[in-house]
Amino acid sequence: MPRETPMMQQYREIKEQYRDCLLFFRLGDFYEMFFDDALLASRLLEITLTSRDGGDDERVPMCGVPYHAAEDYLAKLVGHGLKVAICDQVEDPKEAKGLVRRAVVRVVTPGTVMESSALEENSNNYLAAVASDAYGYGLALADISTGEFGLTELRGTEAEDKLRDELHRLKPAELLFAPAGSEADLIQRMVGDTGIMLTPLGEGLPSPDEVRQLLQALYGESGINELGCEGMPLGLQAAAAIIAYLNQTQKTSLGHLQLVQPYLPDQYLQLDAATRRNLELTRSLRDGGRRGTLLSVLDRTCTAMGGRQIKSWIERPLVDPVTINRRLDRVEALVRSAARRTQLREVLDQVYDLERLVARVSYGTANARDLVGLKRSLSVLPRLASLLNEDPALASLGQGIDTGEGLCALLAAALVDDPPVSLGEGGIIRDGYSAQVDEYRRARREGRDWIAQLEQAERERTGIKSLKVGFNRVFGYYLEVTRANLSAVPADYQRKQTLANAERFITPELKEKEELILGAEDKLAALEYRLFCELRDRVAAESRTVQETARVIAEVDCLCSLAEVAVRHRYVRPVVDRSDAIEIAGGRHPVVEESIGAESFVANDTCLNRSDHRFLLLTGPNMAGKSTYMRQVALIVLLAQLGSFVPAKSARIGVVDRIFTRVGASDDLAGGQSTFMVEMTETANIIRNATSRSLLILDEVGRGTSTFDGLSIAWAVIEYIHTRPGLGCRTLFATHYHELTELEAVHPGIVNYSMAIREKGHDLIFLRRLERGGSDHSYGLQVARLAGLPGELLERAGEILATLESNEEVKKAQRQVAASSYRQRHRTQLSLFEAAPHPVLEELRGLKVMEMTPLQALNTLYQLQEKARKDE
């Protein structure tokens, strides 16, 4: 056995307890990593790999980062999905006997990172946990960088789909789960390649007793009673798992974690992952970025808090018309008063990220600049509140703002305006705040003044004109005399250092003053640090109030942003109610309109309801504008339900409970599945989960397979959605199977529309205007010509098309499909609306088969068949 150095032994003991983490091991001014950690970190961080004596001549691989620059390196490693355990010296090396004690003070993981360089300003960074039982799931989420904490339960037959949707919506950085639980496989599959880091909880989820203890320790007995989560034991279990994990990894106060807020997904307009993606709400299909998304149009927020909030509003529109209209009232008030909007935004511009600031305060990582930022933000709150209070529609928001004047005054009195980043060197506390600080500063100033005039005095006393007073860290203050003048040095000078052409001296008096200055400086720095920590604790004690104010500020910021966008892009206030109508006059696509310019965009009307206009069948060639139109309708509904004005001349929106989209463009994201399979899976999901209040956007269903297969599936899907009890929901369906337009004649709720085009010779002109009636032509060849296929090829395609179109088989198949749909409809209607069963059935039921001879049976069967055929 090689003998290890004591330090390596200490390292190994600690590393043993944190095997799944990289260990940052503090040695002097560095965090060092050893062995495999060093190999990995040096590669990821691009830092030099060295080695160190591990004992018995063995060298161990090592690399390190300076501790004062650790944050950026930490952020990088966590960004790679790694966990980092930070091991510090936990006793003063001067007082240590032998090896200084070290311990892990915090574990940083993707879901628990607080370092600003690892966080996106406008996004939340969630840590999530899932609990499950036979009936469903509990899900909890915490963002420790802002203090947000929420939980929900997902139950019933759709629990799994809902959990998937929530995870895709919130995209937590890290998800805790019980690896031995029955649902572990499912969770792993669900997370798939979303980039969510899975953290298995080796010891499982907390038991009911532990759940209670954990919540009680964090919120106290009275706090637990305020939670209002009694009916959500699974959600609470997940929340408790988060608290336990934070206790283990953060090893510090979680005081800024807000009371956990219960919510139900049904309180919001539900959007599944595919729909979120297809509608490009916050991420573009092209590169996942912000450009070209609804968020990029709506986000004119001034603060980081507002930026996060508006994203969450877009991802979670509402369903209750009362709440929606309250939000719309507020937006309208801000639209009407340009002056108030501008003034509010000027104030908001001066507000810092209070949520993250307070979180840093609770963590004890906030510096003096953070507190000055807090003071500046607090100082504008009275103005913010009074601006809000002036308008009846906004006054309730104004009342939600705690202006924190006491705290603001305290911070203003205590802190200088522009303190240094570092907390160890003083310069933080304002003159006049502490008599003791002032006293030390006076002593230091006097000492310095004395020294400043010393140079002049000594020059006069000695007659050496070039005599200088200097300072360095090793010798402190000194008097410097050049070699040529050494003879004039008085007797009380004591030689301290000899340079090439000068000598340095001290005098007892100089040393005395030096002690006074340096002593004052040390004491001052220590005192200022202590006073600062006291201030920070004061702020921490008020963190809940500041957080609540921060929430109101975020809301005001979002409302102003919506109003600003409404004015800038000429949006109107929609009427939002519980009717089944979606009536839009002159609707526009908010994102396309912005990118191609409002004057080039052709506005279109929409009429949908759940009776005679429930299913709009949209035909027209590729490029005609079908997808744009359908998405525009979905986005206008979504905008209205999030409480925004909408791009239209007028709009009435009867709230929808879910929006589903099946749009071709997501094919490439499917990874591994064929286009057709993805299409069918998405369609199946829609049919399974849609209700009569949903809005469906289906683009080219059945496109991914052969013509007849595809046409048949599309046809049957339309009939099913239109006719099925419990469905019959408002649907937009685009297709270039123009054969489907025949359905309008058969089903009362289906209405044909097409995108107008004009033919000009071989060319097509897209008018982008919606017209009643189906198109009977798919214009594929013309579109191909537009795309630049060679003329010779197109001529040949024309010949083939002519042959195919004259083919009787195709026409026959169409007629048969239409006829069979008729029968299908009648059958459905019979079973639905008519109580009387078919006479053949009655007779069949009455037969006593066991008493018949085989010949009687055969005869009866023959007669029944005759009757049945007659009725056909």
The residue among 352 and 737 lying less far from ligand ADP, judged by its C-beta, is: 737
Output the six-digit token pair for 639: 């905008």
Identity (one letter) of the amino acid at 31? Answer: Y
Q: C-alpha distances in angstroms, 199 versus 81, 236, 241, 730?
A: 11, 19, 12, 41
Which residue's CB is nearer to ligand ADP, number 28 or number 780? 780
Question: Among residues 831, 618, 616, which one has the least CA distance to residue 725?
Answer: 831
Write the single-letter amino acid at 781.
L
Which lies closer to ligand ADP via its Cβ, residue 323 or residue 622? 622
730/614 Cα distance (integer angstroms): 5
List C-alpha distances in Å: 68 to 29, 94, 173, 371, 745: 8, 21, 26, 21, 75
The DSSP call for residue 145 is T
Looking at residue 778, its amino acid is S
**Residue given tokens 């307009």 in the structure block:** 269
331 within 8 A of 644, measured Cβ to Cβ: yes
CA dihedral (114, 117, 123, 126) positive or negative: negative
Residue number, 352 or 629, with CB nearest to ligand ADP: 629
* Cβ at position 271, least distance to ligand ADP in Å: 20
Cβ 769 to ligand ADP shortest distance, Å: 8
Contact 752, 772 (CB under 8 A): yes
Measured from the CB atom, the residue of 547 and 628 that comes closer to ligand ADP is 628
Nearer to ligand ADP, 250 or 683 (CB): 683
Q: How far is the CB of 279 from ligand ADP (least distance, A)?
A: 13
The CB-of-274 to ligand ADP minimum distance in angstroms stands at 17
Least gap, CB of 766 to ligand ADP (angstroms): 7
Cα–Cα distances in angstroms (integers) from residue 228 to residues 152, 255, 499, in the given order: 12, 19, 77
772's tokens: 């009643």
Q: What is 437-452 written as a DSSP string?
A: HHHHHHHHHHHHHHHH
- What radius of gyration do the chain's Cα atoms show? 37
Nearer to ligand ADP, 633 or 690 (CB): 633
DSSP symbols for 550-612: HHHHHHHHHHHHHHHHHHHTT-BPPEEESSS-EEEEEE--HHHHHHH-GGGPPPEEEEE-SST
CB of 589 to ligand ADP, least distance (A): 7
- Please say which residue, 783 or 840, places its beta carbon nearer to ligand ADP: 783
User: In the complex with ligand ADP, which residue's Cβ is closer, 606 or 627?
Assistant: 627
The beta strands (E) that lie in 415-473 are given as: 468-472
- Min dist. Cβ of residue 735 to ligand ADP (A): 10
Least distance to ligand ADP, CB of residue 647, Å:
11
Contact assessment for residue 760 and residue 644, using Cβ atoms and an 8 Å cutoff: no
- CB closer to ligand ADP out of 426 and 625: 625
Please tell me whether residue 89 adopts helix, strand or coil conformation.
strand
Asked if 295 and 310 touch (Cβ cutoff 8 Å), the reply is yes
Output 564 or 679, the one with its CB closest to ligand ADP. Answer: 679
The residue assigned the tokens 């080796």 is 202
Nearer to ligand ADP, 301 or 661 (CB): 661
- Which residues of 241-331 form beta strands (DSSP E)? 261-262, 270-271
d(CA 452, CA 842): 118
Q: Nearest distance from residue 276's CB to ligand ADP, in Å?
A: 19
* Beta strands 658-662; 695-699: pairing state: parallel
Query: Between 388 and 755, whose beta carbon lies closer to ligand ADP?
Result: 755
399: phi then psi, degrees, rounded to nearest 5:
-70, -20
Q: How far is the CB of 593 from ligand ADP (least distance, A)?
A: 8
CB of 612 to ligand ADP, least distance (A): 25
**CB-wise, 623 or 847, nearer to ligand ADP?**
623
Query: What sign results for the dihedral spanned by CA atoms 156, 160, 161, 164?
Result: positive
Instruction: Give the contacts of 483 (CB within 8 A, at least 6 positions apart).
Output: 501, 502, 503
CB of 734 to ligand ADP, least distance (A): 6
CA distances from 761 to 764, 768, 785 (A): 8, 19, 12
- For the bound state, the minimum distance from the C-beta of residue 796 to ligand ADP, rounded and expressed in Å, comes to 24
Q: Which residue in this structure is represented by tokens 């919120």?
A: 219
- Minimum distance, C-beta of residue 632 to ligand ADP, in the bound complex (Å): 8
Residues near ligand ADP (CB under 6 A) are 592, 596, 600-602, 620, 622-628, 768
Closest separation in Å from C-beta 15 to ligand ADP:
56
Q: Which is nearer to ligand ADP, 278 or 549 (CB)?
A: 278
